[in-house]
């Protein structure tokens, strides 16, 4: 068991998986910095991503490992992997081929939530 | 229960919380686009954030609602809130006062994981 200090200040990997064995992955566009999607990785997806430079995820709905773009062709070539202080989230910066979102939009975050709302909150399509 | 199409293409809020009643929040710097931190919100934290424009989270370790900076002074003024296709993750773009990370670094993602590694993976401090 690593100490909190080792986890935060060390250079040893000590991924903190959730109860389902997953960590959160934020995927950003390596050029613009835009957040493209948020997905999950298990240990195998993480290792394949670091080893190969292709983005691999774990699909919670399909319960399987998944190389981004393997069916759609919308692959992600990873330029950089970063990890946060407590090692339970990573950011990958990618070169995205085509849209990242399954709705065929560049990013999954295509709707804004205007500030100042109370009660019934509505979204705004860009 | 909203249909998948309504959730993805509609303008109605239909947050998909996890088993603990939380959604993932990615917080980025409104100016640079840099990912500052990844945290969680429950329904109340989300609503307070949208209503007030201050970033509120839910601390899983302390099991309580938490306004960013309430003790440290390192507040986040929210400029934009965005939500993803299946409504289980949000991005907030903020004006960060001081460091976002409790380690006093600007971002929680202060370590890189060099690509191409197999076996024992090590991190690299920036």
pLDDT digits (tens, 9 = 90+) for B18-42: 999 999 999 999 999 999 999 999 9
Tell how strand A56-59 and strand A111-112 pair up: unpaired
CB of B100 closer than 8 Å to CB of A84: no
pLDDT tens column, A43-89: 999 999 999 999 999 999 999 999 999 999 999 999 999 999 999 99
- Is B88 annotated as a binding-site member? yes
Q: How far is A74 from chain B (nearest CA, A)?
A: 17
Q: Which of B33, B112, B116 sits opposite A80 (nearest CB)?
A: B112
Interface of A with B in 44-103 (CB under 8 A): 47, 50-51, 53, 78, 80-86, 89-91, 101-103
User: With pLDDT > 70 as the criterion, what percentage of chain B qualifies?
Assistant: 99
Q: How far is CA A122 from CA A19, A111, B11, B17, B122, in A?
A: 32, 10, 6, 17, 44
Total-model pTM: 0.97
Contact B32 A33 (CB under 8 A): yes
- Interface with B, mutate which of A55, A87, A108, A126 (most B CBs under 10 A): A108
Average pLDDT of chain A is 97
Structure confidence at residue A1 (pLDDT): 54
Structure confidence at residue B41 (pLDDT): 98
CB of A44 closer than 8 Å to CB of A50: no
Question: In the structure encoding, which two tokens stand for residue A121, read together?
Answer: 């909150």
ipTM surpassing 0.90: yes
- Is B85 annotated as a binding-site member? yes
Structure confidence at residue B1 (pLDDT): 54
- Give the H/E segment covering residue B46: helix B43-52
Asked if pLDDT for residue B83 goes beyond 90, the answer is yes
Terminal alpha carbon distance of chain A = 46
Per-residue pLDDT, averaged over B5-24, amounts to 96
d(C-alpha A125, C-alpha B10), whole Å = 8
Question: In the structure encoding, which two tokens stand for residue B84, read together?
Answer: 């993803």
Chain B residues within 8 A of A109 when measuring between CB atoms: 82-84, 91
Structure confidence at residue B117 (pLDDT): 98
* Domains in chain B with CATH codes: 4-125 (3.10.20.810)
CB of A36 closer than 8 Å to CB of A94: yes
- Percent of chain A as helix, strand, coil, to the nearest 5: 15, 35, 50
Closest C-alpha among A109, A61, A37 to residue B84: A109
Structure confidence at residue B126 (pLDDT): 85
């Amino acid at each position: 068991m690593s100490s909190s200090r080792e986890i935060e200040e060390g250079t040893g990997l000590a991924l903190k998986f959730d109860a389902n064995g997953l960590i959160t992955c934020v995927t950003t566009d390596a050029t613009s910095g835009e957040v493209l999607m948020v997905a999950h990785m298990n240990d195998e997806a993480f290792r394949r991503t670091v080893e190969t430079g292709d983005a691999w995820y774990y699909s919670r709905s399909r319960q399987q490992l998944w190389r981004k773009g393997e069916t759609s062709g919308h692959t992600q070539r990873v330029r950089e992997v970063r990890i946060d202080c407590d090692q339970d989230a990573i950011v990958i910066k990618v070169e995205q081929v085509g849209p990242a979102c399954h709705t065929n939009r560049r990013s999954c975050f295509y709707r804004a939530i205007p500030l100042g709302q109370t009660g019934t909150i509505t979204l705004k399509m860009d």
